[in-house]
Amino acid sequence: MSNLSGECLCGYISYSCTEEPVMAGHCQCSDCQKISGAGHIANIAVPRGSLTISGELAFHEKQAASGNTVKRGFCPQCGSHIYAENSGIPQLEFIRAGSLHNLEKFKPTMVVYASSGASWDHMDPELPKFDTMPEM
Ligand SMILES: [Zn+2]
Ligand SMILES: [Zn+2]
């Protein structure tokens, strides 16, 4: 039992998850850079339906480079990004690892969209890197 749980900066949004992560990794796409204000976002994918979220997320939708629509959920009070879903991968939901209560529960296994990574955003050299999103 993974018992992933976390919350936003102000605590209005909190969540817990009943399932183990399906995958976890860093994304260096330009959209993740813009919303994080940093070089990448750390994502955890969990099976749809396994997340219980307390508080009302605000959402923003944008078409990704892949052509899929990505719907991102953030706290309407403090702006912390917590959640995302991708129209091309409807069986999964994504949570942002920085919101975890226990950051060590994030076990990244890959870096995606490494082709748009910044030279100063150093990643673990042991992790496999993909120019875009690998086939799943
Ligand atoms: Zn908040
Ligand atoms: Zn990204």
Architecture of the CATH domain 5-116: Beta Complex (2.170)
At 70-101, the pLDDT tens digits run 999 999 999 999 999 999 999 999 999 999 99
Q: Report which of 3, 14, 4, 5 is spatially closest to residue 78, judged by C-alpha positions.
A: 14
- Tell me which ligand sits closest to the C-alpha of residue 55: 1
Q: Report which of 65, 57, 1, 59 is spatially closest to residue 32, judged by C-alpha positions.
A: 65
CA distances to 56, 81, 111, 124, 125 from 129, in Å: 35, 24, 5, 10, 9
pTM (2 decimals)? 0.93
How far does residue 95's CA lie from ligand 2's centre (Å)?
A: 12
pLDDT of the residue at 97: 97
- What torsion, rounded to 10 degrees, do the Cα atoms 73, 42, 22, 85 define? 20
At 22-71, the pLDDT tens digits run 999 999 999 999 999 999 999 999 999 999 999 999 999 999 878 899 99
Percent of the chain whose pLDDT exceeds 90: 92
Distance CA 57, CA 79 (A): 10
How far does residue 68's CA lie from ligand 1's centre (Å)?
A: 27
- Tell me which ligand sits closest to the C-alpha of residue 62: 2
pLDDT of the residue at 64: 86
Cβ atoms < 10 Å from Cβ of 118: 11
Question: Reduced to 3 states, what is the DSSP secondary structure of residue 102?
Answer: coil
